A and B are shown apart, each in its own frame.
Chain A
Amino acid sequence: DGGITQSPKYLFRKEGQNVTLSCEQNLNHDAMYWYRQDPGQGLRLIYYSQIVNDFQKGDIAEGYSVSREKKESFPLTVTSAQKNPTAFYLCASSQGAGTGELFFGEGSRLTVL
């Protein structure tokens, strides 16, 4: 079945450590996104990529980095510069071209100890 796979589902990090969240899709979608979700809040866009080897900052990119070396993969690194990294992270993809319809993974919950 086509879909988006995020891993790990749960991740614990000590302060000062970088962590990388994986996102893989087999939907053949061009566009991929990373959102952050905090309790009781909506989704905030961290980074997005419309095509391989290109990505753009979203609304809250500070303290995060991404790469898009392959169409299927869009990993997110939460760096030590992110001051409040504990959150639920959602990866999504879309066919692009303004459809607005996003397909989401099941999310990764990051907790900083």
Chain B
Amino acid sequence: GDSVTQMEGPVTLSEEAFLTINCTYTATGYPSLFWYVQYPGEGLQLLLKATKADDKGSNKGFEATYRKETTSFHLEKGSVQVSDSAVYFCAAPMKTSYDKVIFGPGTSLSVIP
């Protein structure tokens, strides 16, 4: 069935380090792909998205490229900050009879000064 897989962490990085969080998916066709972020004690908010293969989504210094050949959507940031500490979820909407979104398990990121 349809699924989204991502590295689960937790991930701990020093400030200004490079970040990569892997995400792969299995689905019928090539759905849009999303990264959501959840700051402590809050709901999720959309970080970035890509609507078709080879698209690059970007926001707040984060980037992710929709790789059709590897069915991947890895999240990257060149220089993380303490304020980036959060849980990151990869997600994909499925082509079903309703607007169902499949979420990965989330990756907890802690950035230390």
Contacts and interface: CB of A to CB of B under 8 A. Distances in A.
A50 B99 contact: yes
A43 B89 contact: yes
Contacts, number: 62
Given A42-B104, A42-B105, A43-B89, A99 B99 contact: yes
Given A42-B89, A90-B44, A100-B91, A50 B98 contact: yes
A30 to B, nearest CB: 9
B96 to A, nearest CB: 9
Contacts of B92: 100
The winner among A6, A56, A99 for most chain B CB atoms within 10 A is A99
A104 B31 contact: no
A48 B94 CA distance: 14
Interface residues of A, number: 26
B43 A31 contact: no
B95 A98 contact: yes
Interface in B17-63: 31-32, 34, 36, 41-46, 49
Interface string B70-111: 000000000000000000010111010011110111100000
Interface string A64-103: 0000000000000000000000000010101011111111
A102 B89 CA distance: 13
B42 A107 contact: yes
A19 interface: no
A98 B43 contact: no
Given A42-B89, A43-B89, A90-B43, A102 B104 contact: no
Interface of A: 4, 6, 31, 40-43, 45, 48, 50, 56, 90, 92, 94, 96-107
